[in-house]
């Protein structure tokens, strides 16, 4: 079958090949025919080596499709069922799950070191234990989450990562309060979802910050009250908060430099919510005086910072009610053969989300 493969970490292009096989099917597993997958920034970060990932590998972790086969012992899933892919399924029995912090469950991640695919030349890994830039993938049954019939595959794919991550950061992690001031640094698919989440929570001002003009324009359509380039953030802070800083600042880039900017633009006692996925060697510097004296709360948000299954349901309910716009998040569409085009649209910031139709 066809799939897009990265041969070595650091390469910036994928090769679409047709000699890949999805492996590992058996008890507790399901085989999925992928229909739509979004290109998320984490895929690019894994390709460049910012996020740890063994190679060769098939990127993609934001996907949806139909179940082809169900392994022994799997309950609640049937052949032909429409599902979205959850890249971090909760086991339900580890200490994190028992505490109710299922987004911190690492049980599913244990599979990330096991190859999901093979080619005549050898094993191929799947990104984050999934790998959706392919026609078929075999995953743990917990990774396959049934979706209602009225949710199209492209929308379901987005809910599988970017939308859940952004909405959850605003709703679950930061718990944005009505009437508050918010800044969102980085306005791709996740940042726009954080903007929609802040709007749902009733934020009075939402300032979108991004160097790309088309993204700033998009942010305004999705609920930002103002959109500025990074060099105009200081001015916006002055005008909107009288220099005090924003009640909430979301860092949706994954770099220490933007996290530092976000920290400085958070008011004393306000909340910096870190959403971006960054590198292990990129250290954020804070001095011990400001840390205690300014009492800013630093809240990282992983996969929406809450129960992912609950977050999916909430996203679907909000989308169905017309309270969030997910269709317009998909600004570009390509077939699997156009995957390198999609990567370019991501790198230049031209796309909010590119949907790859498989």
Q: Which is nearer to Zn ion, 180 or 193 (CB)?
A: 193
Is the separation of the CB atoms in 258 and 279 below 8 Å? no
* 156 versus 161: smaller Cβ distance to Zn ion: 161
Looking at the DSSP assignment, which residues form a beta bridge with residue 15?
Answer: 5
Three-point CA angle 295, 301, 35, nearest 5°:
165
74 C-beta neighbours (distance < 10 Å), count? 18
* Identity of the residue, 105 or 198, whose beta carbon is nearer to Zn ion in the bound complex: 105
Shortest Cβ distance from residue 236 to Zn ion (Å)? Answer: 28
Q: In the complex with Zn ion, which residue's Cβ is closer, 174 or 308? A: 308
Q: What is the DSSP annotation of 198-220?
A: HHHTT-SEEEEE-S-HHHHHHHH
* Distance in Å, CB of 105 to Zn ion, minimum: 3
End-to-end CA distance of the chain: 11
Rounded distance between C-alpha atoms, residue 159 and residue 148, angstroms: 13
Least spacing, CB of residue 315 vs Zn ion, in Å: 14
Give the residue among 19, 25, 23, 27 at the shortest CA–CA distance from 1. Answer: 19
- Nearest approach in angstroms of CB 43 to Zn ion is 7
Q: How far apart are CA 203 and CA 233, in angstroms?
A: 18
Please give the residue ranges that form the binding site for Zn ion (CB under 5 A).
40, 42, 91, 94, 97, 105, 107, 161
For Zn ion, the closer CB: 64 or 227 = 64
Q: Of 97 and 329, which has the nearer Cβ to Zn ion? A: 97
Give the whole-angstrom CA distance, residue 118 versus residue 174: 41
CB of 255 to Zn ion, least distance (A): 16
List 69's β-bridge partners, or say none: 31
Distance CA 162, CA 152 (A): 16
- In the complex with Zn ion, the residue whose CB is nearer, 228 or 252, is 252
Min dist CB 284 to Zn ion, Å, is 21
User: Residue 84 has which token pair?
Assistant: 């979205």
Q: Which residues of 234-265 are buried (b: 16+ CB within 10 A; e: fewer)?
A: eebbeebbeeebbbbbbbbbbbbebbebbbbb
Q: Which is nearer to Zn ion, 97 or 195 (CB)?
A: 97
**For Zn ion, which is the closer residue by CB, 161 or 334?**
161
Compute the least distance from the CB of residue 257 to Zn ion, in Å: 21
Q: How far apart are CA 139 and CA 122, in angstroms?
A: 19
Residue 210's φ and ψ, nearest 5 degrees, are -160, 140
Cβ of residue 229: shortest distance to Zn ion, in angstroms?
A: 25
In angstroms, give the least distance from the CB of 97 to Zn ion: 3
């Amino acid at each position: 079958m066809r799939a897009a493969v990265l041969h070595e970490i650091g390469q910036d292009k994928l090769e679409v090949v047709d000699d890949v096989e999805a492996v590992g099917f058996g008890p507790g597993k399901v085989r999925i025919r992928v229909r739509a997958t979004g290109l998320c920034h984490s895929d690019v970060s894994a390709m460049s080596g910012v996020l740890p990932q063994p190679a060769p590998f098939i990127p993609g972790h934001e996907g949806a499709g139909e179940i082809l086969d169900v392994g022994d012992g799997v309950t609640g899933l049937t052949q032909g069922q429409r599902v979205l892919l959850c890249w971090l399924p909760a086991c339900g029995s580890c200490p994190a799950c028992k505490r109710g912090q299922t987004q911190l469950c690492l049980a599913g991640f244990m599979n990330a070191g096991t190859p999901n695919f093979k080619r005549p030349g050898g094993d191929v890994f799947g990104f984050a234990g999934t790998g959706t830039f392919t026609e078929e993938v075999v995953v743990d049954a917990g990774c396959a989450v049934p979706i209602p019939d009225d949710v199209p595959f492209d929308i379901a794919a987005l809910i599988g990562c970017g939308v859940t991550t952004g909405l959850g950061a605003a709703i679950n992690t930061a718990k944005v309060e009505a009437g508050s001031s918010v800044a969102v640094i980085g306005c791709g698919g996740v940042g726009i979802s954080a903007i929609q989440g802040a709007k749902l929570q009733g934020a009075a001002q939402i300032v979108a910050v991004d160097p790309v003009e088309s993204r700033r324009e998009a942010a305004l359509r999705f609920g930002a009250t103002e959109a500025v380039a990074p060099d105009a953030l200081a001015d916006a802070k002055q005008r909107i908060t009288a220099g005090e800083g924003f009640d909430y600042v979301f860092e949706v880039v994954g770099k220490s430099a933007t996290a530092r900017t976000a920290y400085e633009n958070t008011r004393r006692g306000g909340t910096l919510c870190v959403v971006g996925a960054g590198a292990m060697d990129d250290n954020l510097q804070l001095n011990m005086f400001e840390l205690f004296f300014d009492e800013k709360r630093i809240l990282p948000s992983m996969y929406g910072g809450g129960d992912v299954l609950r977050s999916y349901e909430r996203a679907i309910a909000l989308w169905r009610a017309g309270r969030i716009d997910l269709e317009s998040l998909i600004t570009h569409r390509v077939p699997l053969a156009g995957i390198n085009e999609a990567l370019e649209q991501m790198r230049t910031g031209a796309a909010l989300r590119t949907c790859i139709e498989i």
